[in-house]
Structure 1
Amino acid sequence: MLHDVTFAWPDGAVALDHVSGAFGRGRTGLTGLNGAGKSTLLRVVAGLLPPTSGRVTLSGTADYLPQRITLDVHATVADLLGITPVVRALRAIESGDVDEAHFDVVGDDWDVEERAVALLSATGLPTGLDRSVATLSGGETMLTAITGVRLRQSSGSAAVALLDEPTNNLDGDARERLYELVQGWRGALVVVSHDLALLELMDDTAELRAGSLTTFGGPYSEYRAWLEVQQEAAAQTLRAAEQTLRREKRQRIEAEERIAHSERKGRKDAANSKYVKAVINDRRNSAEKSAGSRRGMLDDKVDAARAAVDLAERAVRDDDRISVDLPDPGVPAGRRLAVLRGADGREVVIQGPERIALTGPNGVGKTTLLERLLTTTNPASLSAGYSPRSTPSEGQIPSTQREGRDGDGSGADGAASGELLTERAAYLPQRVDVLPDASSVLDAVRESASHVAPGELRNRLARFLVRGAAVDRPVATLSGGERFRVALARLLLADPPAQLLVLDEPTNNLDIASTDQLVDALSAYRGALLVVSHDGAFLERLGLDAEIRLDAEGNLTELRR
């Protein structure tokens, strides 16, 4: 339960502003725009961040799993599950060590190893508790960590489980196993996610927006349907309120005209000495009092009508969408832009304004293949200014678990490689923190559009919802959603425009609205697309021409649509 919770960062930036609400005992999907404070809210509930004001009440403790898992490559599965101290104590007792401290550590968890192995096996995961985490794929690592949360909750050590974007970077198989795990979840679970399939498995949907937490009994699709009805009603209320305001303003003007007419008539009568002075004074005083009273009454009506409009406007959502009129990169249908080569020597050609998805399980080397493709030309010529050689590592995941590595760290990308046939290629890596933090937004975008006048570039940025003073702000001060839009603008506004746009997991960490904005922007792009994504719903919306599947041996299979 959240009681008027506010959280501000040390620099004074407010992340949560007087948030109140409650999560139920079942499964809740927590949604909201990027920057709404969803991850911060989970950390406050988990007790990792103390609220600046207000309070959080829990019937027990909360177990929090962040978006990125920081792991030592030498860690074990037991470490990932969070049961290493208990396992060590159990094994010490089994070896004959009767130190009371071991019994204190075990507590009531005498069967923790059996329960852990059973949960891992049910999820289709390796069951060896002493196995090195470095032997797991990225998807297996995340699923094992989630299994640990489930294990701790089943033992009663955690009353509420909090998962932050658990499907990021999971391939289709890993997602399906996660869905099965969530479907069988018992107890309170709160999941921050933009994965529509996962959100459909929730009992309740909560949305954090403008400091308000709204909870709805049902999955996300039902919540959206309910919200659409509410928004239509709110829009009708706004239209009625605006009509009332116009009427009250018109009546106020008409009344003022009548009062002015009466005052002119009174002055004329006085000038003509039509009435004795005392009578004229009495009538003037009475008229002034009446006019003042009427003005006050009409002003009150106008103020009330304006307040009603303001209230109605707050109920109507005005989330802007990206609207971009992009220059034509001039890619004819037969123009060869890139060649991908599998380990078996088979080639797949990307030509014309095709939309291609590069898919495959976690760990087969999709990101490695993209980087090999893009480094076949001079990185400085990439129109977006992104060099694959300078792409940051994938968060805190150990190198043996990154894309392009298999379970034992030996590398599963085989001999898959590629060759660019155009210098006008743009690359958006999984993380967009390659933007120059010290530069202004305008300067960062001008790096890829140096021939565009600043005024025109500002106009184009406005269509990416980057407007006004935000254009001159340092990149380092941008929110996640703003940074994403700037990175996207930097690619799509490049001059000359890119003929091939390469995107690596572009929907990771994007809220649903931002994903919609990305689809809108890409729909206006008339060049070729090569997209790596595990988000099937997103890929379907792109109108793919083909799918290229990469397997663990480095072979490519082309599926035309």
Structure 2
Amino acid sequence: MSLTPPITLKNLSFEWPTGERALADLDGTFPAGLVGLTGRNGSGKTTLLKLIAGLLAPTSGSVEANAQIGYLPQMITLEKDATVAQLLGVEKSLVALKAIEAGSVDPADFDAVGNDWDVEARVDVELNRLGLGHVSLERRIGSLSGGETMLLAVLGLRLAGNEITLLDEPTNNLDAPTRELLYELVRSWKGTLIVVSHDLELLEMMEHTVELHAGELRVFGGPYSVYVQQLETEQQAAQQAAKTAQATLKVEKRQRVEAETKLARAKRKGRAEQLGGGLPKILANSLKQKSEANAGKMRSHLDGKVENAQAKVDDADRKVRQVEHINLELPDPELPSSKNVAIVSSGTTQQIIQGPERVGLIGPNGSGKSTLLRQMVSGDAASGKLKGEICLDRVGFLPQRLIGLDDQLSAMENVAAVAPSANSGKIRNMLARLLLRGASADRPLAVLSGGERFRVYLATLLLSEPTAQLLILDEPTNNLDIDSVRQLAEALQAYRGALLVVSHDQNFLAQLNLDYFLELSAQGTLSKSYPNPV
């Protein structure tokens, strides 16, 4: 077995066209096996994966990989008309195989098949093992749920058999049963798998954790919990070192002040003796010069001790991490408690969301949750027995796949488009509260990380005119780091309007203090429940 690391980074730097540096002089290696890549939103994880995959070119430095790389982005960009076979990456093999079965002797068809003569059988086995045997290879991606699409994309990478595979937030949009299926794929993965995720259960399966923080890459042995424990231990030591350094600096400064006081007293005493005429002038001047020289040496020595203590404080402070906080002040939409907000019905069952109620819409992948929300927002007639209607005009909608804004415009420009009366200062202040500052607010949406894109969409909802009385959020925790998920829940707890949210993040739902749940079954039936299903 080769001891060469699968991926090595050498002085890797990347700048956006705006001149903003995303990564600077990054050195490090990724170990073989199952690897979790962690770091706060905006730290550059997605950018790093794209550089490793070859989708972005380094501004300087290099990425060295010892094998072929497969890559799954946060957002699957295949057209909705693409087929499942294309998503799995087996279309060319299948087409060539069918051509050969029909009598083709074209060498190109044999090259396309390669050693995959049993590709169709292997795909059928894998689909059945994942409970997706009912999904035909000719089916269009647009007809699949987000969870089904993601699971099939991961399966496609597994079938490809690359020695190195990169997954960016693979459990987004997956319900609990589907996540278990993905976990099984991960547990039996062959080769090196590098995963970016905020899914704690997935991160606990990793053999190594690599952290990208403050432009540095660090490797920790073990899963996420080991990394967290080690980091907490380091931070406790760093905080104690910072306190000790501050205390030492305080002592040195006090001693410097006390010494200056003594020098001032000695100087006054010497002047008094000189005025008293007790010493010859030459001797008095000599003593004065000697005293001043000694005072200068003492000041220099004490100043050096203060500067040294300050340097230790600065060094200790740099090792103490500051957790930035999303700090939102949600406007009051002034929604009457008696106002009907939305009506959802299935057959003879009808549920009415009234006033500032907080409702979770839950159900298995493929039951139609996202479809129902889109139909409600667009006003189109719902298909089948399930129907939804919104009774308000002032609605803010955060779609699961974060579409609807202009990817070529900046965060500032997208928010300004929905808030014409807000000046640039107000918009920048809102974005800053969402941790989008400086050049990040001026970069095109297309080059932002998933977490940064989410914050831009959220800003358009919160600053839109007039203020939304109903927020509809479809998988809002996708691509958010663990701290941001908690902070978003805290912000939404203070919202005074109605809230309708779809999320497979059970911990997030528990933090929202929802009034009740509407559950869609796979058969399209609708039921209401009050107990928290977590």
Question: Common fold, TM-score beyond 0.5?
Answer: yes
**C-alpha distance 141-372 of structure 1, shift in aligned 2 (>3 A):** closer
Aligned to 2:310: 306
Aligned to 1:381: none
- 1:342 correspondence with 2:345: yes
Instruction: Please list the CA deviations of residues 14-58 of structure 1 after superposition, one character each: whole Å capped at 9, or x if unmatched.
Output: 111222222222211212222211111111112332322333232
Whichever residue aligns with residue 83 of structure 1, its letter is: V
- Distance in 1 separating the partners of 2:328 and 2:81: 48
Q: 2:209 aligns with which of 202, 205, 208?
A: 205
- 1:434 correspondence with 2:405: yes
Aligned to 1:550: 520
Mapping of residues 485-500 of structure 1, within 5 Å? 485=455, 487-489=457-459, 491-492=461-462, 498-500=468-470
- 1:124 correspondence with 2:131: yes
- 1:518 correspondence with 2:488: yes
Q: CA deviation at 1:357?
A: 0.6
Q: 1:416 aligns with which of 387, 391, 397?
A: 387
Instruction: Please list the CA deviations of residues 405-458 of structure 1 after superposition, one character each: whole Å capped at 9, or x if unmatched.
Output: xxxxxx8564412232x55544333327638947848973993987xx999998
- Distance in 2 separating the partners of 1:279 and 1:305: 39
- 1:537 correspondence with 2:504: no
Q: 1:506 aligns with which of 471, 476, 480?
A: 476
Aligned to 1:26: 33
- Distance in 2 separating the partners of 1:368 and 1:456: 34
Whichever residue aligns with residue 310 of structure 2, its letter is: R
Q: CA deviation at 1:188?
A: 0.9
RMSD: 3.7
Whichever residue aligns with residue 354 of structure 2, its letter is: Q
Identity percentage of aligned residues: 48
Whichever residue aligns with residue 131 of structure 2, its letter is: G
- Distance in 2 separating the partners of 1:54 and 1:438: 28
Instruction: Please list the CA deviations of residues 305-326 of structure 1 after superposition, one character each: whole Å capped at 9, or x if unmatched.
Output: 1111111111111122234565
- 1:191 correspondence with 2:195: yes
Mapping of residues 44-443 of structure 1, within 5 Å? 44-73=51-80, 75-91=82-98, 104-126=111-133, 130-134=137-141, 136-153=144-161, 158-324=162-328, 335-374=338-377, 414-420=385-391, 422-423=392-393, 425-430=395-400, 431=402, 434=405, 437=409, 440=412
Which deviates further from its counterpart, 347-356 or 365-374?
365-374
1:22 is paired with a residue whose SS is: strand
Give the total of aligned pairs: 519
Whichever residue aligns with residue 148 of structure 1, its letter is: G
Q: CA deviation at 1:505?
A: 1.9
**C-alpha distance 415-110 of structure 1, shift in aligned 2 (>3 A):** closer
**C-alpha distance 27-78 of structure 1, shift in aligned 2 (>3 A):** same
- Distance in 2 separating the partners of 1:351 and 1:26: 51
Which deviates further from its counterpart, 453-462 or 318-327?
453-462
Question: Retained in 2: the 8 A contact 1:441–1:470?
Answer: no
Whichever residue aligns with residue 23 of structure 2, its letter is: L
Q: CA deviation at 1:463?
A: 5.2
Question: Retained in 1: the 8 A contact 2:18–2:443?
Answer: no
- Distance in 2 separating the partners of 1:10 and 1:526: 40
**C-alpha distance 432-316 of structure 1, shift in aligned 2 (>3 A):** farther
Q: What 5-or-longer segments of structure 1 have no aligned partner?
A: 377-388, 390-403, 405-410
Instruction: Please list the CA deviations of residues 48-69 of structure 1 after superposition, one character each: whole Å capped at 9, or x if unmatched.
Output: 3232233323231211111222
